[in-house]
Chain A
Amino acid sequence: MSPRTPVPRPKPSGAALPDEIFAGFAGAPMQARNAPGPLTEERARAVLATVPDPEIPSVMLPDLGVIRGVEVTGDAVTVRMSPTYTGCPATDLMQMMIREQLTATGFASVTVDLVLSPPWSSDDITAEGRRKMAAAGIAPPAHRATDKRHLTGTLPDVACPHCGSADTVMTSAFGATACKALWRCNACQEPFDYFKCI
């Protein structure tokens, strides 16, 4: 297909998304809040599974792999969380949202500890997280962070999240947030975000 051939623009990826991705903002937490029941680790984890990454709202915190541990003692809960990037401005917001949701669930004391070690890696994103990212129009990391290509700076083969074409090119090593780079698809000519391997 020559570059001049008109290509039907893909539907904005947001429109095709199931309602469930916005669960973190409104629906599910309300249910979790109102449902009576014992304050268990399972319950705390269920609540965490509804807290979205503020910068990629379709991906929940456990999908992102940043939740490192949950401990419940009586009505107190401690969540251990690892930031994606040292300066990620979403870290404070994530902590706040976790506190807010777990407090609303009935926990009297909520502590969110930041842990640096072992450092978070894009390898920690779950299969579910990768699926939700792709559905939101963000290409998930193309290879593992330990891949040699990462060390040598060779660009990965990234499939377009809109049309699936492998004919893609990086336009900027940095993107709208610390965790993403900007890419473009030569087949459908749409720009897209690529979640960096780190």
Chain B
Amino acid sequence: MACSIPLPPPGHPRKYPEMGGREGGEGWNRRQKKATPMNASADHNDALFRYLLRLGDTSHILCHRLGEWCGHGPIMEEDIALTNVALDLIGQARLFYQYAGEVEGKGRTEDDLAFLRPERDFNNLLLVEQPNGDYAKTMARQFLFDAWNLLLFRALERSTDARIAEIAAKAVKEITYHRRHSSGWVIRMGDGTEESRTRIVAAFEQLMGFTAEFFHMDDVDRQMAEVGIGPDLESLRDPWMADVEAVLAEATLDWPTATWSVLGGRHEGRHTEHLGYLLAEMQSTQRQFPGLNW
């Protein structure tokens, strides 16, 4: 899948093509302005901190999106399913945020990291911040993510960082269950009625362009891969495509035709316009009443 063909489908917001392609245009990547770390260990810690935030943010933001379905699910069982998946994701996010706070060593808690960082400091995948849309879009988003996340966490189970390895070993059981649920819906909707098929096809067309980010490496990813903390993301591409292709085939669906793709969320905090609204809602209480407790 090329990352350089920024042709949006009709009706797609125009800003995407400008964002796509090259990693970090001038003025965007403010993290590069950071002072050179004092020593290798501080540099390693900084990279680990940012790596953990990426893991935490992605789980956290998808959790919030799924939580938006609470009380609005198409049927009771699915309402329950999505909030259950959300619960697993917030559990995983908390473990990564707690660890990130310790690694950073500035006394920031999981709540500080969740509620008091602005949009540009969030490093979740662009895919997971996309609005829920209809149930087909929610399930397409979930399946594309679950298939990748399962491969990622299987790799993280073997991380040289014992803390990450034990979080992954725990989470991989949950993610296996998530993937089974979301793939089941993709198959049911693709091989279902004309209406469900039309919707799931449209959903994959809208979302596939965000998956380029799954496999894109930056310095932090490379640094983590070199010491065996995280996998080479590029190595997840083939097994991911094989899994997605197999499920699409069972759903009697073709690979989406959309050829545009975008990057920037996970590495640089350059987001689609949707994340700001999500954070405004999620963070409003802590912003208005700092330190408020239930």
Cβ-defined contact, B174 with A172, below 8 A:
no
Q: How far does the alpha carbon of A171 sit from the alpha carbon of B80 in the complex, in Å?
A: 12
CA distance A121 to B165 in the complex (A): 16
Contact flags (1/0) for B146-171 with A, using CB distance below 8 Å? 00000000000000001001110111
Q: Is A96 part of the binding interface, using a Cβ–Cβ cutoff of 8 Å?
A: no
Q: How far is the CA of A116 from the CA of B167 in the complex (A)?
A: 7
Residues of B contacting A37 in the complex (Cβ-Cβ under 8 angstroms): none
Interface 1/0 per residue, B201-227 and A, CB below 8 Å: 000000000000000000000000000
- The verdict on B279 contacting chain A, using a C-beta distance below 8 Å, is no
* B88 at the A interface (CB under 8 A): yes
Stretch at the interface among A25-33, A65-73, A82-90, A159-167: A82-90
- A145 to chain B: closest residue by CB: B173
A102 to chain B, nearest CB (A): 24
Q: Which one of A51-59, A127-135, A174-182 is at the B interface? A: A174-182
Q: A119-B166, A119-B170 are in contact. Are A86 and B91 (CB under 8 A)?
A: yes
A196 touches B177 (CB 8 A): yes
**Among residues 73 to 108 in chain B, which have CB atoms less than 8 Å away from a CB atom of chain A?**
77-78, 80-81, 84-92, 94-95
When the two chains form their complex, are residues B77 and A182 in contact, meaning their CB atoms are under 8 A apart? yes
Q: How far is the CA of A130 from the CA of B78 in the complex (A)?
A: 27
For residue B69, give the distance in angstroms from its CB to the closest CB of chain A: 12
A87 in complex: contacting residue of B89, B165, B166, CB < 8 Å: B89
B170 touching A174, Cβ below 8 Å:
no
Q: Which residues of B contact A173 (CB under 8 A)?
A: 81, 177, 180-181, 184
Cα-based distance from A151 to B172 in the complex (angstroms): 12
Are the C-beta atoms of A198 and B169 separated by less than 8 Å?
Answer: no
Chain B contacts for A89, CB-based, 8 A: 87
Q: Does A118 sit at the interface, judged by CB under 8 A?
A: yes
Is the pair A198, B91 in contact by a Cβ cutoff of 8 Å?
no
Check if B88 sits within 8 Å of A86, measured CB to CB.
yes
Contact yes or no, A86 B80, CB < 8 A: no
Give residues 81-122 of A contacting B (CB, 8 Å): 83, 85-89, 116-121
Contact sample, A vs B, 9 pairs, CB 8 Å cutoff = A85-B87, A88-B87, A116-B170, A118-B169, A173-B184, A174-B77, A174-B181, A175-B84, A198-B173
Q: A87-B86, A116-B95, A119-B173 are in contact. List 15 more A-B contacts (CB 8 A).
A: A85-B87, A86-B91, A86-B92, A87-B87, A87-B94, A116-B170, A117-B165, A120-B170, A121-B173, A145-B173, A151-B176, A153-B180, A174-B77, A174-B81, A175-B80
